[in-house]
Amino acid sequence: MVDNTTYVVVGAAAVLGAACRAPLTAMALMVEITRDTGLLVPLLAAIGMASLVTDLAEVRAQWGPIACRVGPAHSAPGDGV
């Protein structure tokens, strides 16, 4: 059975790694604080997923409205597309 503290540490590392764009630093920091190398795999998974979601959300926020209007379905006749 996993202790509730483990979930808190992994969640905090995921938020820290994604928000600060420093996943390796967050992982090293949590291993240093807890002195538990058994957390490396859960930390890697959680921080990796959080970083991926952050990157995808940023790309969608930056290019979402433009990308939705680009393509043959949204071009006017005679646009040359």
Percent of the chain with pLDDT over 70: 74
29-33 LR contacts (CB < 8 Å, sep 24+):
33/9
CA terminus-to-terminus distance, the chain: 58
In a domain, 74, yes or no: no
Amino acid (one-letter) located at 54: T
More confident residue, 59 or 47: 47
> Which DSSP helix (H) or strand (E) runs through 42?
helix 40-69
Domain count across the chain: 1
In a domain, 13, yes or no: yes
Domain range for residue 60? 4-68
In a domain, 64, yes or no: yes
* pLDDT value of position 25: 94
Alpha carbon 11 to its chain centroid, in Å, reads 12
In a domain, 58, yes or no: yes
Q: How confident is the model at residue 20 (pLDDT cuts 50, 70, 90)?
A: very high
Sign of CA dihedral 40, 15, 26, 20: positive
